[in-house]
Amino acid sequence: MSLPKVSYGSYNYGAYANPKAIQYKGGLGEGLAKGLAQGIDSYFKKKASDKKEEEEAGQAGTINAQKYGAALKEHLGNATSQNKKYIKQKKKDYGDVVKQYKLGNISGDEYMEKMDVFENILVELGGLKNSIVELNKLNNGQDIPTSELRENGAAYDANLKGNALKRGQFLLSDGPDGVEVTLPAFVGVNNFTQLPLQQVKLSDLAQNEKIYLPDLKYNNEANKGIQDVTKKYFDNAKANADYVEFKDVGQDGKKEQSFINAAKRGEILSDIKADGEYYTKLNGNDKRIFFEDNVINPKTGKPFGIGSWNNSPEQQELLKDSLANSIADDIVGKAVSNPYNKPRENELDKYKEDAIKIRKRINDTAGQRKNIADNYEKYITFDKNNRISNYGEFKRQLQSLGITTGSEFGDDDGVHTIEIKGLGYSDTIDFRTMDSTTMSIIIENAQGAMKLNEPATGLP
């Protein structure tokens, strides 16, 4: 039997063409259908909510990561390519923690613990940045010569690390106990070209400057306090005629030159020890280094050496004796007066011409000089504590006489004195004890009176 022939569009598909949804007359079947519909709707709503929450958490992570990365860069400055990778990784880690917290995947306590770690890194890097800034100020920004270092491995090692930090030649990485900094290490005097690397904890580096600041050899000339008392002892010695000797230098008609007599070294040394002020000019570190490097052990004939200083009374006495002797050595044989070249006839004529000009200039400016001396307090501004706060007008008045002002000098009570410089002469004006007569003499000397080797008030 053959199937009936039908043409397209004419056949009535009936129920097959328009199927109806399953219909349940109550009971379990209808509940299943309704629950299925609600479940599908709830599923898609939750998916949308989760996606929005994920996006918001991701955005929060990204924003905070950028901020943290910017803070890292601020502390690291011109980071090396390797440290840029470290910054990038830390940014990502920071952002991930923020994101996971926003999503509720980590607890508040865990979040705070992780944030503390990130914050500590910033604090330690900030300390490292400040240390590098201070390092670049040392020795006028130049590397410290090896010859100026104490002759021990710790000083050499610290100098290597300090130079590496200044140049940014270090690597950051995560270690088991926090951030580590990879730096060169010292292994021997003859091995400066092939240096091993050492991991130093960033927290240690930020807290202990001995890691990168080397101990230097002690030097009297680098200690201003010692230089000041040495000058005082020298001035005392040259004021004592018994301590001064004269020698004929015998060159081109030069006269005798005077020196501190080396034969009087014992007396000078006794004067220094009796005064005792010199010892107060050493700080604790100076004492340690001077003793260990310079004080000779009578048993060995060599310096006591690294680690020997314990500040005992016996060591202090040895140190005082050695330091006093070093100051005496700096004084004896030192020139008291410079050789004086007798001018030849043509030079003598020029000297006379210059002297005439100086005298004329002094005489011509007598009124101007008197005005400054009588009215100097009008040209200087003093604060309520009678300290100098501005002396610009006084400076201009002196400049009109060819005199310049140097540094301001202060004491515990503030600035009271100004240094002036004139024709081959300088002096310090102390405004706490100044009067117009003294001021006039000082200005006249600075104009050239002292160059003529005549007292200012005795000039015509």
DSSP string covering 105-156 = SS-HHHHHHHHHHHHHHHHHHHHHHHHHHHHTTGGGGSPPPGGGB-SSHHHH
Backbone angles phi, psi at 171, to 5 degrees: -120, 140
**Mean pLDDT to the nearest integer, 50-79:** 71
Does the pLDDT of residue 342 top 70, yes or no? no
- pTM beyond 0.85: the answer is no
Question: How far is 369 from 440, CA to CA, in rounded Å?
Answer: 6
Question: Helical H runs in 194-344?
Answer: 202-207, 224-238, 265-275, 284-294, 313-331
Does the pLDDT of residue 201 top 80, yes or no? yes
**Mean pLDDT to the nearest integer, 422-427:** 76
Q: How far apart are the first and last CA of the chain?
A: 159
Taking the CB of residue 31, how many other CB atoms lie within 10 A of it? Answer: 11
**CA 189, chain centre distance (Å):** 28
Question: How far is 336 from 246, CA to CA, in rounded Å?
Answer: 9
Question: How far is 256 from 277, CA to CA, in rounded Å?
Answer: 33
Q: What is the pLDDT of residues 282-337, one digit of tens each?
A: 999 999 999 999 999 989 988 998 889 999 999 999 999 999 999 999 999 888 86
Max CA distance (Å), the chain: 159
pLDDT of residue 265: 92
Better-predicted residue by pLDDT, 3 or 304: 304
Local structure of 276: helix, strand or coil: coil
Alpha-carbon separation of residue 418 from 231, 408, 428, 438, 455 (angstroms)? 21, 5, 6, 15, 22
The lowest-confidence range among 24-28, 60-64, 87-91, 179-183 is: 24-28
Better-predicted residue by pLDDT, 83 or 278: 278
pLDDT of residue 57: 64
